[in-house]
Structure 1
Amino acid sequence: MTQSVDQAMAGFDPALPLAVALSGGADSVALLVASAEKWPGQVSAVHINHGLQAAATLFEDHCRTLCKRLNVPLHVQAVNASKQAGQSPEDAARQARYMAFSALAPDKYGGVAIKSIAIAQHADDQVETLLLALSRGAGLAGLSAMPAHWQRDGLDYYRPLLQVAGADIRAWLVQRGVAFVEDPTNSDEQFTRNRIRARLMPALRSAFPQFLDTFARSASHAAQGQQLLDEVAVQDVQTIARSTDGLPRIKALQGLSRPRQANALRYWLKQNYQCVPSTVQLAELLDQVADCTTRGHHIHIKVGSGFVQRSSDVLTWYNP
């Protein structure tokens, strides 16, 4: 069931000190205000200036004004969100944000002592993420949408408003008389997420009034299924791994069913190299593994940003 902002914050119990990712938009402003009220003196804000739009200065100025009024320390970090070859602008910005957040961790790059970071995605964002995943033919990992809690670079990340509707967040701010900035790019329908927001979400709301709850439930079921797949993958990777370096042995890999081979290889690539193979790449790799019955069989396949190749009796991955 969707919650109010106050209900969501009542159940939010991160390790302190807490940093709130503050864009200046309605959702992050509400999260910062609610967090600062709940933990006075234990909350700071982080504003990432991507420098990708003319309104960037307006967003930063608003964040400075708000934090001054709330008596909350503000860390402003300018990042280079230029995308690399084969990378989407959204992914480039996301990776740049993570690098900036990582600098806040204790003992990292002289960072400040932050234990947790809160990000303000809400229930509508969760459904949009699920619809994006469906449009791309994603597996269970994509259909799981966004987790409410995860860890990265020694920090705990939270999305405490995932069960709060976006409209309820804005109503909460209006009731309190708190201003926020509208991102002009949100109405640009050249971006798929914006088209989903402008065209599909109103239709879904009309046809299925409870869709925020039911779609979130489906994402939760997918996340549980993905967790089981990960547990199986851990066992299989341990079974097929060469003892000296953990590389998957081809003969041992061939002893698994094709679905378990795919699951194990996908997990091995992601955990060790942050590499996510496409469906076509993984299918080609599995075909080559199946055909690898002689010493002279050569494997060299593009996977992600690098290549999987055969080295003696194991598979390796490298990024040239």
Structure 2
Amino acid sequence: MNFDQAMAAFEPALPLAVAYSGGADSTALLVACAARWPGRVEAFHVHHGLQAAADDFERHCAAVCERLGVPLRVQRIDARHMPGESPEDAARRARYASFAALATVGREQGALESIALGQHADDQVETVVLALSRGAGLAGLAAMPPVMERDGLRYHRPLLAVPAAEIRAWLTAREVPWIEDPSNADPRYTRNRIRAELLPALERAFPQFRATFARSARHAAQAQLLLAELAQQDLASVGSPPDIKALQQMSRARQANLLRHWLLEAHGCTPSTVQLDELLDQIAACTTRGHGLHIKLGAGFVERQGPVLGWYNSAPPTKPLR
């Protein structure tokens, strides 16, 4: 799919905000949206404060928005990561929090519900490869959805089928300037190494890899939806919190699917494979009334509470020694 075809198929609720970094992808998206819906589009720019060039990025975005006649809203954040935390994950969470804050300001002046993101086909391939490298399940292999709901907002990715080179060619043909983030060339980031080393090799070996990877991601997303529906049905039958004896009547794979769903939906917890396997082992061992169960999952703990599994955000108070 080329850029113009992707934009023709894009039908968001208006008014619309475009997440605008100043890079090629968000620039092309902003220019196209502003031309198609004049007066109904604004730009959201997040100043991460992570590099000296961030002020230049903001000035560039302001100049482009002025030429386009598009309002620009800027949110300044400190996106530094904590020890042991992924820099990319920390920055991503900070960006979404910023978009939600900027949208709240926008709602005071109109019902802003839609935000467009500039991720493209190469970004989708990188996401699938990262998921494979981490041993992810279907949820990870599904990669980025074209539409998602978060914080009461609907996020759109209309360019997921468009290669990065096609977007840059579109901008070059129209003599539209963009900026290159120097951090995109930093080999310390896994995504950058995938982009610089792996994607060219895939291009040579499998020229259609972007389309085929995207198709696999869609298949994974469909399968994940089915697993979520099954988990909802199973949770309704065993109760929430889950009854241990009812869980034990299910296959181990079905228990795992239900527990992942319950932990995420009810407690915002995504256990690692090792943690979930340990929880399943402890559930299988609960064959007597007095058998305890206790395991740390994410930021909390799962414990046996009589016949059911209980959740604590922190460790329950210990009994004093006598």
The TM-score with structure 1 as length reference comes to 0.94
**CA deviation after TM superposition for structure 1 residue 317, in Å:** 2.4
Give how far 1:273 is off: 2.1
Provide the rounded CA distance (Å) in 2 between the counterparts of 1:74 and 1:105. Answer: 12
- Is contact 2:16–2:41 with CA below 8 Å preserved after alignment? yes
What residue is the counterpart of 2:304 in the other structure?
A: 310
For residues 74-223 of structure 1, what are the structure 2 equivalents within 5 Å? Answer: 74-84=72-82, 86-105=84-103, 113-223=111-221
Cα pair 1:106 1:113 within 8 Å, conserved: no
Partner of 1:20: 18
CA drift at 1:214: 0.8
Distance in 1, matches of 2:148 and 2:213, equals 21
Picking from 31, 35, 38, the partner of 2:36 is 38
Aligned-residue offset at 1:291:
0.5
2:272 aligned to 266, 270, 278, which one?
278
How far apart are 1:197 and its partner, in Å?
0.6
Deviation at 1:128, TM superposition (A): 0.5
1:66 to 64, 67, 76: 64
Q: Distance in 2 between matches of 1:178 and 1:70?
A: 11
Q: Deviations over 1:171-191 (max 9, x none)?
A: 100111111110101111111
Q: Output the CA distance in 1 between the equivalents of 2:277 and 2:201.
A: 36
Question: Is 1:257 matched up with 2:251?
Answer: yes
Shift of 1:106: 5.3
Shift of 1:85: 5.2
Q: 1:121 touches 1:161 (CA, 8 Å); kept in 2?
A: yes
Conserved 8 A contact 2:25-2:118: yes
Distance apart, 1:316 and its partner CA: 2.2
Q: Secondary structure at the match of 2:201?
A: helix
Question: What RMSD over aligned residues (CA atoms) do the two structures have, in Å?
Answer: 1.6
Asked whether the 8 Å contact 1:262–1:286 carries over to 2, the reply is yes
Q: Paired residue for 1:300?
A: 294
Determine the C-alpha separation between the residues in 1 that align with 2:187 and 2:310: 41
Q: Could you tell me how far 1:104 is from its partner in structure 2?
A: 3.9
CA contact (8 A) 1:51 1:79 kept: yes
**Structure 1 alignment gaps of length 5 or more:** none
Task: Give the distance between the partners of 1:63 and 1:47, measured in 2 at CA.
Answer: 8
Q: Partners of 1:31 and 1:58 in 2: how far apart?
A: 20
Task: State the AA in 1 paired with 2:272.
Answer: S
The 8 Å contact of residues 127 and 215 in structure 1, kept in 2 or not, is answered as yes
| Distance of 1:113 and 1:158 partners within structure 2 | 16
C-alpha distance in 2, partners of 1:112/1:11? Answer: 24
1:266 equivalent in alignment to 2:264 = no
In the TM superposition, residue 267 of structure 1 has moved relative to its aligned partner by 0.7
Cα displacement (A) at 1:135: 0.5
2: CA distance between counterparts of 1:319 and 1:110?
Answer: 35
Who is 2:318 aligned against?
Answer: none
Q: Distance in 1 between matches of 2:309 and 2:82?
A: 27
The residue type equivalent to 2:257 in the other structure is N
Change over 3 Å in CA distance of 1:317–1:161 after alignment to 2: same
Per the TM alignment, residue 253 of structure 1 is displaced from its structure 2 partner at its CA by 1.3
Q: Does 1:290 align with 2:284?
A: yes
Equivalent position amino acid for 2:95 in 1:
R
1:297, 1:62 → 2: CA distance?
63
- C-alpha separation between the residues in 1 aligned to 2:229 and 2:274? 24
Residues 103 and 112 in structure 2, CA contact (< 8 A), matched pair in contact too:
yes
Structure 2 counterpart SS, 1:103: helix
Aligned to 2:231: 233
Gaps of 5+ in 2: 315-322
Q: Measure the CA separation in 2 of the matches of 1:131 and 1:102.
A: 29
Kindly provide the amino acid, as one letter, of the partner of residue 99 in structure 1: A
Q: How many residues align?
A: 314
Measured after TM superposition, the shift of residue 39 of structure 1 is: 0.6
Shifted more, 200-209 versus 82-91: the winner is: 82-91
- The amino acid across from 1:253 in the alignment is L
Does the 8 Å CA contact 2:301/2:313 hold for their aligned counterparts? yes
TM-score (norm 2): 0.94
The Cα of 1:88 is off from its aligned counterpart by: 1.5
